């Protein structure tokens, strides 16, 4: 993963702020690990998501999935920027499934900011998070 400590863009900072704020609403009584995510649709609108756990543990959903669902429900299908934040020792890495979900709606070069609540940040991209992604071309044999 490309680790950058450079000054983030204003857009990246506003997206991270949205993720930080919505994280407070995460429902994580089992893991106690609250995650906030925000994606910016191609229109510029920000969509937010949090992890929503369940007493039947596998039924829980990740923050990234929630933000993507909000974007799709609003009628947008392209995301141009992502931010994820948690109270983790290092900037929180999206799980494997969420990497594939982000790749469905973003591009390889789409910027992703991963952060801790202490202010540590890591700037990366969807392509760096999921090299060799499975896509439509893998279903074309001809």
Nearer to ligand THU, 64 or 81 (CB): 64
Q: How far is CA 99 from CA 4, 62, 91, 103, 141, in A?
A: 19, 11, 15, 6, 25
Adjacent-strand bridge partners of 86: 35, 116
Q: Smallest distance from the beta carbon of 137 to ligand THU, in angstroms?
A: 26
Q: Smallest distance from the beta carbon of 66 to ligand THU, in angstroms?
A: 8
Nearer to ligand THU, 32 or 141 (CB): 32
- Tokens 């089992």 — which residue? 30
Catalytic site includes residue 81: no
Q: Which residue positions form the known binding site for Zn(2+)? A: 62, 95, 98
Q: Smallest distance from the beta carbon of 40 to ligand THU, in angstroms?
A: 18
Helix (H, G, I), strand (E, B), or coil: what is residue 27?
strand
Task: Mark 5-26 as b/e (b = at least 16 C-beta within 10 Å).
Answer: eeebeebbeebbebbeebbeeb
Q: Which residue positions form the known binding site for substrate? A: 51-57
Instruction: Write down the catalytic residue from 10, 11, 24, 64.
Output: 64
Which positions touch ligand THU (CB under 6 A)?
Answer: 28, 31, 33, 35, 51, 53, 60, 62-64, 94-95, 98
Nearer to ligand THU, 12 or 112 (CB): 112
* Cβ within 8 Å of residue 97, ≥6 positions away: 62, 65
Which positions are annotated as active-site residues? 64
């Amino acid at each position: 993963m490309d680790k950058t400590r450079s000054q983030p863009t204003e857009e990246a900072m506003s997206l991270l702020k949205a993720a930080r704020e919505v994280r407070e609403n995460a429902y994580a009584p089992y893991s106690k690990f609250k995650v906030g995510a925000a994606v910016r649709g191609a229109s510029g609108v920000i969509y937010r998501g949090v992890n929503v756990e369940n007493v039947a543990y596998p039924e829980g959903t990740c923050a990234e999935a929630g933000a993507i669902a909000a974007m799709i429900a609003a009628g947008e299908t392209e995301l141009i920027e992502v931010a994820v934040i948690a109270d983790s020792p290092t900037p929180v890495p999206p799980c494997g499934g969420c990497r594939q979900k982000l790749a469905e709606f973003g591009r390889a070069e789409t910027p992703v900011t991963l952060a801790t609540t202490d202010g540590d940040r890591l700037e990366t991209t969807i392509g760096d998070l999921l090299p060799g992604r499975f896509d439509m071309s893998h279903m074309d044999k001809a």
